[in-house]
Amino acid sequence: MPGVLVLDEDEQTHSAVEMSAGDLARVIHASSPVDAFRVLREESVAIVVSGSKLGNMDLTHLLCLLKRQHPTLLSIVVSAQSSPALDRLIEQGQIFRHAAKPLKAGLLRASIKAAIEQHESRPACPLPLPPVTDGSSRKGAARQTLTGKLQALLHRLLGN
């Protein structure tokens, strides 16, 4: 049974996922991004259902870190309304689905079920991430800088 990690400050989201998909997946709860990364180190998780507001952490940065560490992880973002940033993340493939609040059990269940099906249809071994360039070009240097910043942020979050 696949794991679904719920990361949201709103307790109603946790309850809604449990009620909507408790029979489809193991539902695991996290109350903060740091807690979520701990869970991801210890548990097998296929899907993250996340709120769009995560305390002091930006959703875009969190999703980028999650994708970097867990390339096959699918994200469903829960929020009261859509935004251009959210739409952009969906277009970029960082978010699998957006679930609008107030959550409707049938729609949430359908989104989680679709994510499980997507996860199960993927090959067991994901394609490797493209290598970071040697920094000889401006684009390569920018990529190395971004990668370094993301790794530093991840180390801070994980306490390493």
Who has greater pLDDT, 93 or 153?
93
User: What does CATH list as the number for 3-127?
Assistant: 3.40.50.2300
Q: To the nearest whole number, what is the mean pLDDT of the chain?
A: 83
Residue 128 CB burial class (10 angstroms; 0-12, 13-18, ≥19): exposed
- Interval 83-120: pLDDT, tens: 888 888 888 888 999 999 899 989 999 999 999 999 98
**pLDDT reported for residue 56:** 79
What long-range pairs does 51-59 form, CB within 8 A, spacing at least 24? 51/7, 51/8, 51/9, 51/10, 51/13, 51/77, 51/78, 51/79, 52/77, 52/78, 52/79, 52/83, 52/86, 53/9, 53/79, 54/7, 54/8, 54/9, 55/9, 57/33, 59/85, 59/89
Q: What is the pTM of this model?
A: 0.73
Who has greater pLDDT, 81 or 144?
81
Confidence of residue 82 (pLDDT cuts 50, 70, 90): confident
Is the predicted pLDDT of residue 13 greater than 60, yes or no?
Answer: yes
Is the predicted pLDDT of residue 18 greater than 90, yes or no?
Answer: yes
Lowest mean pLDDT among 23-27, 51-55, 76-80, 138-142: 138-142
What long-range pairs does 103-108 form, CB within 8 A, spacing at least 24? 103/12, 103/13, 103/16, 103/20, 103/78, 105/16, 105/19, 105/20, 106/20, 108/16, 108/17, 108/20, 108/21
Is the predicted pLDDT of residue 155 greater than 70, yes or no?
Answer: no
